[in-house]
Amino acid sequence: MKEGERVRLVVLFGGRSAEHEVSCTSAVSVLQALDPDRYDVVPVGVTREGRWVLAEEAAKVLAAGGPKALPPALTAEGPTVGPLETVAETGEAGPTVVLPLLHGPFGEDGTVQGLCELAGVPYVGSGVLGSAAAMDKITAKRLVGEAGLPQTRWLGVREWDVDRRLASVVEDELGWPVFVKPSNLGSSVGVSKAHDAGELATSLHLAFTYDEWALIEEAVDGREIEVGLLGEPAEASVPGEIRPSREFYDYEDKYLVDGAELLVPAPLSAAETAEVQRLALGAFHAVRAEAMARVDFFYDDRGRGFVVNEINTIPGFTPISMYPKLWEASGVPYAELVDRLVRLALKRHARRASRVGRRRQLES
């Protein structure tokens, strides 16, 4: 951002995925961190049905009482607006930047990123390819494996390919228990733990209510470590550790009961910290992520050390989310983190526009 330049920031929240509520909570935290002298904020909600609406009530609260007056979570309510017109409208004194806080499908998976590309508008976070690759857990596993990075053992299965032999294959290749996850979802929605063939069938039924592909993954009895990535070139944050209050770090533990213990920085040696940061950067590059991500690991102290679990290109931004906590502990406060992400979006857009201009010169 140029000195004194005011950015029209379209904050997208809500969405069609099962992570709708998480997004609505993240949006409040972001809006409260924005400097009104630097940003002309336009909150735009996406309803569960997929309608794009201008969140007028949130805009009124911001204008009248400021960010402190916002409720704990926004609601995707208001007059319907056109997606392309919303993101492409030009600000009066500066550029428009889109900040997608849409977790899961139809937001984190490259769809909204593609819309912004079509509109020619800068947007925060990974591009179409990186977003899609990281969102699909099976594709991400394949790419991480191709990069030679250690990861949990896994199987991918499509709904109509499940047969009676699957339980035997799981037992032989992964062993019990296993985790079963929808391939395209996050925030532990639709995730369950199966201890035998009967529970596997039940877990797959749940996963297939969210996606036609399911990931079956070995259960690693180890510590849960997370690392944030930020920038171009990307830098790794200090690692953090999650100690769940339940059998595993599920949706309720993340957002509803406030029972999990978050240790930032994680109690790791200097060598262990350097190793997990190296692996996080490797996973980030393997899926072609950009600007920001959070990479989740298990630490298996029985010999394997760190193994990659998942990569999240739009990590949670709620007050209790790990990603902003990791960067705050690394010397980047919440408000500065958002500013950096907006600057990265503008920088990438300018870089790509310059490349298009050079290509046109060569073709003329």
Cβ of 93: how many Cβ atoms within 10 Å? 10
How far apart, in Å, are the Cα atoms of 218 and each of 83, 170, 181?
Answer: 40, 9, 11
Q: CA-CA distance, 215 to 213, in Å (whole number)?
A: 7
Across-strand partners of 262? 242
Q: Which of 114, 55, 115, 107 is nearest to 88 (CA)?
A: 115
DSSP state for residue 204 in the 8-state scheme: H
Catalytic residues: 19, 187, 255, 294, 296, 310, 312, 316
Q: CA-CA distance, 236 to 229, in Å (whole number)?
A: 5
CA quadruple 144, 189, 11, 336: dihedral sign: negative
Q: Which of 93, 90, 110 is nearest to 102 (CA)?
A: 110
The pair of three-digit structure tokens given for residue 115, joined into one six-digit string: 């819309």
Side-chain-facing half-sphere of 56: CA atoms under 13 Å: 4
